[in-house]
Amino acid sequence: MERERTGGMPSVFATEVIVGLIIVALGAIVMWDSVRVGAGWGPEGPKAGYFPFYIGLILVGASIVNIAAAVVQRAKLTRPITERHQFVLVLRVFIPAALFVAVIPVIGLYVASVFYIGAFMRFLGRYGWPLVAAVAVGVPVVTFITFEIWFLVPLPKGPLEEMLGY
């Protein structure tokens, strides 16, 4: 029922609680690991886990307060965290970006940029091919000149650059 009102998106309340619980878990992990390396007092002074243990403790405590605050204000937090169409827009940026990062090790950053910028402009921006080609090729070329030639900072390269002798 709640789903219908929020268009399938989780409500602010649900997101608050989920994020809060993840943070509690995170704090617990930090505490657990601190105890593992020793959270007490050793011969040389405070052990490695001494400081992080309290960090974890505060993390758990503060997050529980946040969850409690969300529960108290529950009635005010029923709106969806984001509208469905907005979320689609966000995914439209994020998924191509993730793909872009995923293919960098295979084909190199420069070639990946050509495809990424090109696809983004063509399919999301609906630009004509000449402009798409100009920007999608131009930006990586400028980047290449700046980084590899001018600043001598190597970026990930793939088979194409190898073929060209870099």
Partner 1 sequence: MDDLSFLMHGFSIALEPHNLMFAFIGIVLGVIVGVLPGLGGANGIAILLPLTFAMTPTSAIIMLSCLYWGALFGGAITSILFNIPGEPWSVATTFDGHPMAQQGRAGEALTAAFTSSFVGALVAVIMITLVAPLVANFALKFGPPELFAVQFLAFASFIGMGKEPPFKTMVAMMIGFALAAVGLDTVTGQLRLTFGSTELLKGFDFLIAVIGLFGIGEILLSMEEGLAFRGRAAKINPKIVWQTWKQLPRYWMTSVRSSIIGCWMGITPAGATPASFMSYGIAKRVGKDGSEFGKGKIEGVVAPETAAHAAGTSALLPMLSLGIPGSPTAAVLMGGLLIWGLQPGPLLFVEQKDFVWGLIASMYIGNIAGLIIVLTLVPWFAAILRIPFSIIAPIIIVICAIGAYTVNQAMIDVVMMLVFGVIGYLFKKLNYPLAPLVLALVLGTLAETSFRQSMILSQGDLGIFWSNWLVGSITLLGVLVLLWPLFSALRARVAPAR
Which residues are 11's β-sheet partners? 80
- What's the CA gap between 138 and 94, in Å, rounded? 23
Q: What is the CA radius of gyration of the chain?
A: 24
**159 is an interface residue for partner 1 by CB under 8 A:** no
Amino acid at 65: V
**158 is an interface residue for partner 1 by CB under 8 A:** no
**Selected range binding partner 1 among 1-9, 140-148, 158-166, rule: CB under 8 A:** 140-148
- Taking residues 82 to 121 in sequence order and writing x for each that binds partner 1 by CB under 8 A, - otherwise, the string is x---xx-xx-xxx-xxx-xx--xx---x---x--xx--xx
- Residues 106, 29: contact at Cβ < 8 Å? no
Judged by beta carbon, residue 1 or residue 23, the one nearer partner 1 is 23
CB of 113 to partner 1, least distance (A): 5
Judged by beta carbon, residue 75 or residue 153, the one nearer partner 1 is 153
CB of 99 to partner 1, least distance (A): 11
**48 is an interface residue for partner 1 by CB under 8 A:** yes
Encoded tokens for 58: 């505060």
Could you give the 3-state DSSP secondary structure of residue 164?
coil
CB of 121 to partner 1, least distance (A): 6
Encoded tokens for 67: 């969850």
**50 is an interface residue for partner 1 by CB under 8 A:** yes
Number of residues engaging partner 1 in binding (CB under 8 A): 68
User: 152: left (phi > 0), else alpha (psi -120 to 50), else beta?
Assistant: left
